[in-house]
């Protein structure tokens, strides 16, 4: 077990700086869309909408800047979508648990007061935890983040 965890961190940590730029931008897009749509769509639908935009942004940036492990874009996007669905399920679990604690147990039914702060705080927590799973899986299965994408130059 210790060897398995050691291998994961040995592969994960050196690639993480290359992943942070793309994932950081996708993280901001994800949180922004969630916070804007949470009041109108609720927790689950706004999470799904934010997930779709975030996964498109993440895959696009990684596809243009890093070496993909799969030559076909469609296969790479499907793999990234599956990885993202794992992260989405983690997000939904945490977000619904936080909603249950705040709205049902504590009785915080004054949504007007927390239109920005509550969804921002809850999405930040859930996305941070989901980031650990999705970043590790993306580095392992979809992109070689240590290698930059080779840009083909046209011969004149």
| Radius of gyration of the chain, Cα coordinates, nearest whole angstrom | 18
9 vs 143: which has the higher pLDDT = 143
Residue 135 lies in a domain: yes
The answer, yes or no, to whether residue 46 has pLDDT greater than 90, is yes
Span between the terminal Cα atoms of the chain, in Å: 55
Give the global pTM. 0.78
Residue 154 lies in a domain: no
Tell me what pLDDT residue 156 has.
45
Residue 155 lies in a domain: no
Count Cα atoms within 13 angstroms, Cβ side, for 108: 14
Tell me what pLDDT residue 68 has.
82
Q: What are phi and psi of 66, to 5 degrees?
A: -125, 160
What total of structural domains would you count in the chain? 1
**152 by DSSP, 3-state: which?**
coil
Residue 35 lies in a domain: yes
Residue 153 lies in a domain: no
**pLDDT tens sequence across 56-72:** 998 888 888 888 888 88
Q: Which domain holds residue 91?
A: 2-147
**pLDDT tens sequence across 85-138:** 998 999 999 999 988 887 776 666 655 555 578 888 888 898 888 887 787 788
Return the sign of the alpha-carbon dihedral for residues 95, 28, 46, 78: negative
Residue 152 lies in a domain: no
Residues 13/52/63/128 CA torsion (nearest 10 deg): -10
């Amino acid at each position: 077990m210790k060897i398995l965890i050691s291998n994961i961190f040995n592969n994960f940590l050196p690639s993480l700086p290359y992943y942070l730029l793309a994932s950081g931008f996708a993280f901001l897009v994800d949180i922004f869309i969630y916070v804007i749509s949470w009041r109108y769509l609720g927790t689950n639908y706004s999470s799904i909408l934010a997930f779709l935009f975030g996964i498109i942004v993440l895959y696009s940036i990684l596809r243009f800047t890093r070496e993909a492990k799969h030559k076909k874009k469609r296969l790479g996007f499907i793999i990234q979508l599956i990885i993202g669905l794992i992260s989405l399920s983690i997000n939904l679990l945490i977000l619904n648990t936080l909603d249950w604690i705040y709205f049902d147990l504590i009785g915080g039914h004054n949504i007007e007061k927390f239109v920005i702060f509550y969804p921002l705080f809850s999405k930040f927590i859930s996305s941070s935890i989901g980031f650990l799973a999705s970043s590790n899986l993306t580095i392992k299965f979809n992109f070689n983040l240590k290698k930059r994408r080779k840009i083909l130059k046209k011969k004149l």
